[in-house]
Structure 1
Amino acid sequence: MQDILNKLRIAESNHGISTGLATWAGQGEEIASYSPVDGKLIGKVQSANRQDYDTVVGQAQEAFKTWRLVPAPKRGDIVRQMGEQFRKYKTELGTLVSYEMGKSLQEGLGEVQEIIDICDFAVGLSRQLYGLTMHSERPSHRMYEQWHPIGIVGIISAFNFPVAVWSWNTMLAWVCGDVCVWKPSEKTPLTAIACQHIIQEVLKSNDVPEGVSGLIVGGREVGEWLSHDERIPLVSATGSTRMGKAVGQAVGGRLGRSLLELGGNNAIIVSQHADLPLAIPAIVFGAVGTAGQRCTTTRRLIIHESIYEDVKNQLVKAYGQLRIGNPLDAHNHVGPLIDEAAVQSYQSAVAQVGALGGTFAVEPRVLSGDDFGSGCYVKPCIAEVENHWPVVQHETFAPILYLIKYKTLDEAIALQNGVPQGLSSAIFTLHLREAEQFLSQAGSDCGIANVNIGTSGAEIGGAFGGEKETGGGRESGSDAWKAYMRRQTNTINYGTTLPLAQGIKFEL
């Protein structure tokens, strides 16, 4: 691991404040990053205080004045070069993501691939920031709309995807002409610093103004500063619903914009017409991948009563084959939770299930021993529950899969929709009518609805986000770029008279 840290230019004592080209130690408290894999100290970061924060935002304000005037295709080419840098350092950064966050190495590498993919997407987008033209009701007039950069984009990211979510926002914002100030999770600061180091050469060789890429490592107070700062027109925040409500209230109170990607309580419906050999691996991956710490994790499995026992038995068998341990070992399927607080949340949820009368098809357990020395490893479990129980209605960031029976598809869809969150959903069925009903206006109320694939694994090309308490934001592909720009309608009179709209007459 030390070799990787050296390649990414991360020393044991590092800097948590950056404006893209300049990096310096903050004046706030020291943050230590411990790996949930083995409990060892990876490095320490000097966090930001308010003065540091204002310095970074001030640099961003000045950089925006220059960056917005760079032609969009040129900005796209700079992003293309960044994609090449991330290709170069994919193994090192992916390994660090795995070690600092705890997800499997394949998932860590996949997260860096998401950065590469969004860079590719943003390059093409830089030549497609389209506006519309409209016919005017007034003679010798032309109407059209165009999109302009919005300014500073504040980005608050979570520990579970410590680099990918930053890139979804940043690469699109950059080609749109915005500048970014990033507050990463204080639980995964080193991966954020590594991203800044990786792009330094590109920024320097292209004479990008200092302040285009800002990084501020710190705790909750930094997110509060971003949310209340009138200099920042858009705050994109990923995290819990509780956090998102606070951000949304603060940003909305100053009439700013917020892009919120919050909690998920995702369900898969397994029809009696499902292809079970297709469904079982998707369910298991969705439920235990990243140790249940994805916003798209499969948390509820809604199974037709006629196949309920069969599906349960197949899942129990599959869970018996799971290998839990060091995520850097490619043979292991499941790594640790992020910290001891997450373990306590897991224990609290399983205790509530038991208190409410739920039973476990696969028993929960906190793992101990030499291979689990960090104290953050837990056994993925399966519980038989009722959908309306408070613990089921709540998102627990841990590998707990809830099994629920249904009789009719209408009932299954109502169960799927019957939670406060609305991010991802899926149905496994070979019945065309069931699939179409699930995707119809009377079907899933989530931002993502899949047929014959699981709830996890969204692709860059589609806009990512959800409804209800998930926040309503959209990041990444499709037309998500519009969130990072302001729309302007233009009317041009190329005639010699001044007709008014709606036929209004005004004569002097």
Structure 2
Amino acid sequence: MLLRVCRVVRAAARAHSSSARSERLRSQAYIGGRWVEAESAARFAVREPASGQLLTDVVDCGPRDASTAVRAASDSLAGWRAATSKERSRLLRKWHNLMIQNKDELAKLITAENGKPLKEATSEIVYAASFLEWFSEEARRIYGDVVPTSSPDRRILILKQPVGVVSIITPWNFPSAMLTRKAGAALAVGCTVVVKPADDTPLSALALAELADEAGIPAGVFNVIPSSKSNTPAVGEVLCTDPLVAAISFTGSTATGKILLRHACGTVKKASMELGGLAPFIVFDSADLDRAVAGAIASKFRNSGQTCVCTNQFLVQEGIHDAFVEKMVKAMHRDLHVGNGFDEQTTQGPLINERAVEKVENQINDAVSRGACILTGGKRHRLGATFFEPTLLSNVTTDMLCTKEETFGPLAPVLKFRTEEEVIAIANAADVGLAGYFYSSDLAQIWRVAEQLEVGIVGVNEGLLSTVEAPFGGVKQSGLGREGSKYGVDDFLEIKYVCFGGL
């Protein structure tokens, strides 16, 4: 239904007749349990990255709207935190069930506004829903402690309580999964939230708000405020400085994360930051080459290379370097198919916008000017301005941009190394450390490298890492805190020590 509606909206441009709407296609903000316009009545366009055509226009919330949403979340906090963990669990599970029931419609919406292949979009919805399921279960396991004391007339109780109102700022590359991974944890422990989705992909967040309402999440507990690129800095500042906000949770670039942290420090808010990465993918001489190539394809080209744990550079030991490169080229030609995300054979959709394409082009031009060789790809695809050919570079060195800055596109640079010590030094030279991958059959080497890599997530003989049961997060300038897993609730909890005396 959503795809049909989006096409109607494109044909009708800014028409707002009831015939051009779906119950899942929302264009207003969701504040205090109501669908509302921005105070300014402004709107901004949401376009398909594949074609540039208009999907719909969405309310453009400003700072005053952000403050209104924060007050709504604050007003609902007492009631939500007083609800039993069993009741919060029940509502999150109902929200999960509604996502699964509507997964095809929600996936089409992601593909329309994000561009990723429909199969990947469907997988994202299932993955996103799994966080609501997981945290619905964790809601009933927020345990405290009773601690023995040295005084016979005292008892020590350790309580875990919700921190309060949480500001959540989500990225465009996983518009549903990044929302539920954060909001599921916050809501499970009794916090209320205000979500600011990326301006490229607000429709998925608004669709989830519709389902949250349908699931019975109380008014004001879950709020969504879309804003345009021009309004986003001011809205973000409100969400990080308002005294009613107790914590912020952000996924995005390291540069933006630093700005938000500066805003938040004035009121000493808790902060969860999932920031940029520069993931190395190391292939040692002892590796199973076919498995390494399959893992390389999965790690590099999912979502057209637009993931924060996406491999940024391939480091291949000299003994198997040539064989690895040859197999990679064959696998890319065989397995990767560029096209519109709604075409069944597509594995590589468009990049999110032309700026993303220009960044890939800039990195390729820089590498070639310094001696790198293009083995396949290397240019924009004939389908349009936002499509780019999956590209493999050889003869890459560590002074090239593609090894020093996050690409976020379908570019795979390959570097040759000689020793384990050398490659560890290269991998750990980055000031970020989110994910890292390596392939080896040497058990002693596996232990050494897994422990020495300065990253928060390590894939050993595996190219796909994300799962609801495991903690997700990085070290160094890749962020603060962990999301998912049993640890995912920690950033939304305060620990209170209660001393019972006179016993």
The TM tier, using the shorter chain, reads: over 0.9
What is the distance in 1 between the residues matched to 2:326 and 2:455? 29
Contact 1:20–1:196 (8 Å) recurs in 2: no
The residue matched to 1:378 in structure 2 has which SS?
Answer: coil
Shift of 1:330: 2.4
- Give the equivalent residue in structure 1 for 2:302: 289
Does residue 409 in structure 1 map to residue 409 in structure 2? no
Aligned residues: 481
1:100 and 1:8 mapped to 2: Cα distance?
A: 17
RMSD of equivalent CA atoms: 1.5
How do residues 387-402 of structure 1 correspond to structure 2 at under 5 angstroms?
387-402=398-413
Unaligned runs of at least 5 residues, structure 1: 496-508
Contact 2:95 / 2:215 at 8 angstroms: preserved in 1?
yes
1:465 to 451, 455, 473: 473
SS, match of residue 223 in structure 2: strand
- Please tell me whether residue 3 in structure 1 is matched to residue 4 in structure 2: yes
Match of 1:253 in 2: 266
Deviation at 1:432, TM superposition (A): 0.6
**Which residue does 1:317 correspond to in 2?**
330
Note if contact 2:459-2:465 (Cα within 8 Å) is conserved in structure 1. no
CA distance in 1, matches of 2:295, 2:450: 19
1:133-282 equivalence runs, <5 A: 133-203=146-216, 208-218=217-227, 219-282=232-295
Q: Summarize the Cα distance change of 1:4–1:73 in structure 2 as closer, same or farther, 3 Å threshold.
A: farther
2:378 to 358, 361, 364: 364
Map Cα deviations across residues 113-169 of structure 1 (whole Å, 9 max, x no partner): 122211121121111101222211112211121101111110001110111111011
Q: Distance between the aligned counterparts of 2:412 and 2:265, measured in 1?
A: 35
Q: Secondary structure at the match of 2:193?
A: strand
One-letter amino acid of the structure 1 residue matched with residue 474 of structure 2: G
Measured in 1, the distance between the counterparts of 2:189 and 2:5 equals 33
Shift in alpha-carbon separation, 1:90–1:457, aligned structure 2, 3 A: farther
The answer to whether the Cα contact below 8 Å between 2:456 and 2:475 also exists between their aligned partners in 1 is yes
- CA shift for structure 1 position 254: 2.3
Is 1:25 the counterpart of 2:37? The answer is: yes
State TM-score, norm by structure 2.
0.93
Of stretches 89-98 and 223-232 in structure 1, the one that deviates more from structure 2 is: 223-232
Instruction: Name 1:501's counterpart in structure 2.
Output: none
Compared CA separation, residues 49 and 389, structure 1 to 2 (3 A): same
Cα deviation, residue 475, structure 1:
0.8
8 Å CA contact 1:252, 1:258 repeated in 2: no
Report the Cα distance in structure 2 between the residues aligned to 1:390 and 1:341, rounded to whole angstroms: 16
Match among 78, 85, 88 for residue 75 of structure 1? 88
Deviation at 1:8, TM superposition (A): 4.2
Task: Name the CA shift for 1:131/1:275 in 2 (closer, same or farther; >3 Å).
Answer: same
For 1:101 and 1:36, locate their aligned partners in 2 and report how far apart those are by CA, in whole Å: 7
**Counterpart-to-counterpart distance in 2, 1:491 and 1:4:** 59
The aligned residue for residue 13 of structure 2 is: none
Paired letter, 1:431: D
Distance 1:481 1:90 in 2: 25
Q: CA deviation at 1:2?
A: 4.2
In 2, distance between residues paired with 1:222 and 1:101?
22
The one-letter amino acid of 2:456's match is: G
Give the letter for the 1:480 counterpart.
G
Structure 2 gap ranges (5+): 7-20
Query: Aligned residue for 1:422?
Result: 433
Q: Is structure 2 residue 393 aligned with structure 1 residue 380?
A: no
Deviation at 1:110, TM superposition (A): 1.3
Q: In the alignment, is the contact (CA less than 8 A) between 1:464 and 1:474 conserved in 2?
A: yes
Q: Does 1:123 align with 2:136?
A: yes
Shift of 1:349: 1.4
Residue 362 of structure 2 is matched in structure 1 by 348
Tell me the amino acid that sits aligned with residue 10 of structure 1. Answer: L
CA distance in 2, matches of 1:391, 1:252: 33
Task: Decide whether the 8 Å contact of 1:228 with 1:251 is kept in 2.
Answer: yes
In the superposition, relative to structure 1, how do residues 124 and 4 fare at CA in structure 2: closer, same or farther (>3 Å)?
farther
Contact map agreement 1:19 1:215 (CA 8 A) in 2: yes
CA contact (8 A) 1:8 1:92 kept: no
Q: How far 1:82 moved relative to its partner? A: 0.4
Given that 2:49 and 2:353 are in contact with CA atoms closer than 8 Å, whether structure 1 keeps it comes out as yes
Structure 2 residue matching 1:284: 3-state secondary structure: helix
C-alpha displacement of 1:381:
0.9
Within the candidate set 478, 485, 489, 1:477 is matched to 485
Q: Is the 8 A contact 1:27 1:46 kept in 2?
A: no
Deviations 1:307-339 (A, max 9, x none): 000001111111222210011222111010001
Measure the CA separation in 2 of the matches of 1:463 and 1:69: 28
Percent identical among aligned pairs is: 26
Distance (whole Å) between structure 1 residues aligned to residue 450 and residue 502 of structure 2:
48
Distance 1:268 1:191 in 2: 32
Cα deviation digits, residues 183-224 of structure 1 (max 9, x gap): 000011111111111222112xxxx44210111111232112
Counterpart CA distance in 2 for 1:75 and 1:117 is 16
**2:350 counterpart (336, 342, 345):** 336
Letter aligned with residue 332 of structure 1 = T
Tell whether 2:338 aligns with 1:327.
Answer: no
How far apart are residue 356 of structure 1 and its match? 2.3
* Structure 1 runs, 4 residues or longer, greater than 6 Å off: none
